[in-house]
Structure 1
Amino acid sequence: MAVPKFAASRSFHAELKRRINTYFEETKTSTTGNANLFVKAVVLTSAFVLLYVHLVFFTAPIWLSLLECVLMGLLGAAIGFNVMHDGAHGSFSKRRWVNQFASFTLNVMGGNSFMWNVKHNLIHHMYTNIEGVDDDIDVQPWMRMSSTQPRHKLHRFQHLYFWFLYGLLYIAWIFFMDYQKYFKGKIGSMPIKKMTNTDQSVFWGFKVLHLFLFLALPIYTVGFVSWLVGFIVFGSVAGFTLSLVFQLAHTVEHAAFPMPDEITGKLEDEWAIHQIKTTANFATNNRVISWLVGGLNFQVEHHLFPTISHVHYPAISKIIKQACTEFGITYNEYPKMRYAVASHVAFLREMGRA
């Protein structure tokens, strides 16, 4: 399909930017990360490395090894939420090289920062929840994530088996999806810009490094069966955690799935209003969840201002809520995470039976 076009009016977005800029000017605060974020990054990455070293080079009881694999999966997802995600958006630090260093944690974990930038920053953040463009809602044929997607018989049960599929995300991502995008030269229907020699070197160099660190070395030290069990546990926990947090932001009952006009290719709303209608927050008053998921429970704020670090989302959310009230725009939010999960399950059930 042709790339959709948003409505020409940008009055709401302009007003939002003015208010947010005023907030940072008055508080004399940088829009990037602060000391708390840097400390959190050190704590998360250090804990991950220590667990990795203990699992690979030391012999521990089976129950402890499995527990450590679960913790590694949670820490891997937390690093993605808190370090990689901000770094990839250029909001982790004022310094470009620090942001790049933070985003490269994804490469070490087996993904690729170039592919992520195209898929997430350029496509998903621009064309959120638009079928045929946003690759995040394309889980076909296994799941139906939009009413405009074809429905198959197995979708009747997707609200029951989605737990299993979400657990496969990380493993499928690092061993299949990145390579598929690389060789096809596009993400979904959107072409990928030509990779430079540096991009190519980073892609293949880190893929080889990941295979050595997470496959070859562990197999050599602990044996194939122990590695396989541990890696599946680690990958499943990481994949499920990553999937659930991102899906709660857009595939819930109150999120919209707009489609452009078939003739003009235009969408009804300006970009900022489109982002609010297609996005939902959850558990924003829960500091533990906010800390662990890197502020991605403030998804509305993130989609409107992706280059602002998540440490500022609680403050700017008040400004955005007020603006939505004044402009008569519905601000989607679930007060508890369990409410968002229930809404996601209900959404999947509806899509499977509609």
Structure 2
Amino acid sequence: WKQKHNIDHHTYTNIEGMDHDIDIKFMRVHEDQPKHWYHKFQHLYWVLLYGISYIAWILYQDFEKYFSGRMAKAGKAHKMALKEHFIFWSTKLGYIFVYLILPVIMVGWVETLIGFVIVGVVCGFSISVVFQLAHVVEGTQFPEPNNTTSKIEQEWAVHQINTTANFATKNKVISWFLGGLNFQVEHHLFPGISHIHYPQINKLVKETCLEFNVAYLEHRTMTKAFVSHILHIKKLGSRTVSI
């Protein structure tokens, strides 16, 4: 999580090959990703993919990254220290014991499987929707690095604002449930500051963006952000020639 999210996602937000969050199998979330025939249905089958995302994450993707040493397709291979190997395997075995083996012993394998799938789907769907509404909606950018320097020709803070969107920032219930993740712009700009300060920071960031003519994307409600996400992936599923 430290490498995948805290470093890669927060540094290379919405950059193809570096931000794992936009590398979703069977989904096309920006123009530079190849288009396949099935993408024209992605605005329908996203429900299934988001639902299984958590289970795929803990039972497949973590192992894929562990054995390849790469957090993202274009990322450098990361050599793990002995301590990291120990943490990986001990936590994985602990997870399997607590969430699968122990429940099977106590209530049976059928009940365990049903419960595990329900919890996994709810968790995956919730996490995916929140993350997608923050970065994969109409108006967010997906910058390409300079071919010569391999750098983004924007300041880091401007890049974060251009690739991120807020939603429902006036809704205190949603803010409480999401731990301030609906203030995604502020979360990216000030990840070390408690989310309880985001409403005040939000005003300052907006004023600064207005002063320096930087577009600030915010959807008034979560519903509007959700609709924007669906429209975005629907458009991307219908554009360009299929391969």
Q: Give the TM-score range, shorter chain.
A: over 0.9
Name which of 229, 233, 243 aligns with 2:128: 243
Structure 1 match to 2:6: 121
How many Å apart are 1:192 and its aligned residue? 4.5
How many Å apart are 1:181 and its aligned residue? 0.4
Q: Deviations over 1:29-55 (max 9, x none)?
A: xxxxxxxxxxxxxxxxxxxxxxxxxxx
Within 5 Å, give how 1:28-47 maps onto structure 2. none
* 3-state DSSP of counterpart to 1:125: helix
Distance 1:146 1:258 in 2: 10
Alignment RMSD, CA only? Answer: 1.0
Q: Deviations over 1:191-210 (max 9, x none)?
A: 25332222222111111111
Distance 1:213 1:258 in 2: 42
Residue 182 (structure 2) pairs with residue 279 (structure 1): no
Name which of 188, 195, 204 aligns with 1:319: 204
Residue 58 (structure 2) pairs with residue 174 (structure 1): yes
Distance 2:196 2:202 in 1: 11
Q: Which runs of 5+ in 2 are unaligned?
A: none
Give the aligned residue type for 1:149: Q
Question: Structure 1 length as normaliser, TM-score?
Answer: 0.66
Within 5 Å, give how 1:231-310 maps onto structure 2. 231-310=116-195
Distance 1:135 1:264 in 2: 22
Within 5 Å, give how 1:125-204 maps onto structure 2. 125-140=10-25, 142-188=26-72, 189-204=74-89
Structure 2 match to 1:221: 106
Distance 1:337 1:321 in 2: 19
How many Å apart are 1:310 and its aligned residue? 1.2
**8 Å contact 1:118–1:192 — kept in the other structure?**
no
Question: Structure 2 length as normaliser, TM-score?
Answer: 0.95
Distance 2:188 2:231 in 1: 24
Structure 2 match to 1:350: 235
Q: Percent identity?
A: 52
**8 Å contact 1:249–1:299 — kept in the other structure?**
yes
Q: How many residues end up aligned between the 2 structures?
A: 238
**8 Å contact 2:68–2:77 — kept in the other structure?**
no
* 3-state DSSP of counterpart to 1:249: helix
Give the aligned residue type for 1:161: Y
* 3-state DSSP of counterpart to 2:89: helix
Q: Which runs of 4+ in 1 moved over 3 A?
A: none
Q: Deviations over 1:226-279 (max 9, x none)?
A: 111111111100100010001110000010111122233232311110110000
Give the aligned residue type for 1:187: M
Find the structure with the greater CA-based Rg. 1
* 3-state DSSP of counterpart to 1:253: coil
Name which of 207, 210, 219 aligns with 2:92: 207
**8 Å contact 2:166–2:217 — kept in the other structure?**
yes
Give the aligned residue type for 1:199: E
* 3-state DSSP of counterpart to 1:297: coil
**8 Å contact 1:302–1:310 — kept in the other structure?**
yes
Q: Which runs of 5+ in 1 are unaligned?
A: 1-115
Q: Deviations over 1:160-189 (max 9, x none)?
A: 110110000110111011111000011122
Structure 2 match to 1:328: 213
Distance 1:260 1:174 in 2: 30
Distance 1:301 1:210 in 2: 32
**8 Å contact 2:17–2:75 — kept in the other structure?**
no
* 3-state DSSP of counterpart to 1:256: coil
**8 Å contact 2:51–2:122 — kept in the other structure?**
yes
